[in-house]
Amino acid sequence: MKGRPNIRTVAKEAGVSVATISRYLNGRFVSAARGRIAEVIAELDYKPSTIARNLSLGRRGCIGVVVDSVQDPWFTQLLVGLEEEVSARDVSLMLASTELTGKYDSNIVVDWIRDRRVDGLIIAKAQHRDRSLIREAVEAKLPAVLVAPNQEFQQVQVVRCDNRSAGKDVARHLCDLGHKHVAFAGGPSNSIDSKQRLSGLREGMNDRGLLLNSSNVFNCGDFEVDAGAKFGRQFFDKSTNATAVVFANDLLAIGFMRVAHKLGVRIPEDLSVVGFNGLPEGERLWVSLTTVAQAFQQMGTAACRRLFESIDSPGPVQTIEFPMTLIVRESTGPARRSGSRSRTANGRGAGARR
């Protein structure tokens, strides 16, 4: 047979109508000849036109991915899973950074929704300010999946991690090392991730008969390295009995550890440090960071699959939750003896210099 086979060729060889072949290719019910159709498609090596199929279904063959900044190392890890799933489905991906100009601007995504330029949206780490954007998608009946949202949202699919269990894992690890006085430093005060990780940490310590003192709970304002460094400078100016500090994400921990090293604080001899997320940067530190890793690639894949399911057949709103994995590295060790932490030359509370 010469030339590339088309849908009419397949229909003729299978002895059915073009409409039947179309229903089969679109995953719809075909009462008879399913086996024969599959055989003919294999024999002819028929590959349906993605463009034609999208046109027949009124689709663009493209999904939109929204994030604050594509430079966010958390997002670059997630993107691996997103791209793998999208490329396997022969679908295009459009990317929008809502802070591309340095300030929040979601207009480009709103245009996607109103002009129906995409078949669905994946929004990474949605915050309160994204509520109007998400409402636009819901009102337009455009499928959307939120990955690790930092707020509670209704009427949209969600893929996130089991933060509470992860916090309990951290508590068990530190308690096993003899830590009885633990501090927690979160990101924004309204962050769900921070709240749930703190809740799990507190619950895990309670299970061991220990309390996480409210005076040892802090907010850093955001999740960036600079916020962790600023907190570090404040932390070491205070008197604290904490022998370990748990941060709500790795970037905060990294900023904090830089300050600690400058002040001569020995990690983990004087102070143990734990982060969350499992970013590659944590492993590259001079004292590698103990962390609780998210399943970035699996989360990206799951978000894509859930979105495509919603595009093909809208169904009930679901929340998919992934476990996190504790990765023990050099930044955690046995708790120091009470009162053993010395002070730096300028009088600030810190570890003994090497």
CB 148 within 8 A of CB 160: yes
Say how many residues make up the chain: 354
How far is CA 56 from its chain centroid?
Answer: 34
d(CA 168, CA 297): 23
Of 316, 331, 32, nearest in space to 155 by CA: 316
d(CA 196, CA 193): 5
Kindly calculate the radius of gyration of the chain based on its CA atoms and give it in whole angstroms: 26
- Cα 222 to Cα 163, 180, 230, 268: the distances in Å are 18, 27, 11, 25
Handedness of CA 80, 85, 87, 92 (dihedral sign): negative
d(CA 323, CA 315): 24
**Contacts of 177 by beta carbon, 8 Å cutoff, 6+ apart:** 244, 272, 332, 333, 334, 335
Classify 62-161+296-322 by CATH class.
Answer: alpha beta
Of 112, 26, 104, 110, nearest in space to 62 by CA: 112
d(CA 255, CA 135): 35
pLDDT of 45 reads: 79
Whole-structure pTM value = 0.79
- Pair type for strands 290-293 and 325-327: antiparallel
Domain ranges in the chain?
A: 7-48, 62-161+296-322, 163-294
Domains 62-161+296-322 and 163-294 share a fold: yes
pLDDT of 342 reads: 42
Q: Would you give per-residue pLDDT tens digits along the chain (354 residues)?
A: 456 777 678 788 888 876 776 666 655 556 667 677 878 778 887 766 554 555 444 456 789 999 998 888 899 889 988 988 887 777 888 999 999 888 999 999 999 999 999 999 999 999 999 999 999 999 999 999 999 998 889 889 999 999 999 999 999 999 999 999 999 999 998 899 999 999 999 999 999 999 999 999 999 999 999 999 999 999 999 878 999 999 999 999 999 999 999 999 999 999 999 999 999 999 999 999 999 999 999 999 999 999 999 998 888 899 999 999 999 999 999 998 754 444 443 444 444 333
d(CA 185, CA 221): 10
Of 243, 247, 242, nearest in space to 231 by CA: 247
pLDDT of 89 reads: 74
CATH number of 163-294: 3.40.50.2300
pLDDT of 350 reads: 44
d(CA 310, CA 298): 18
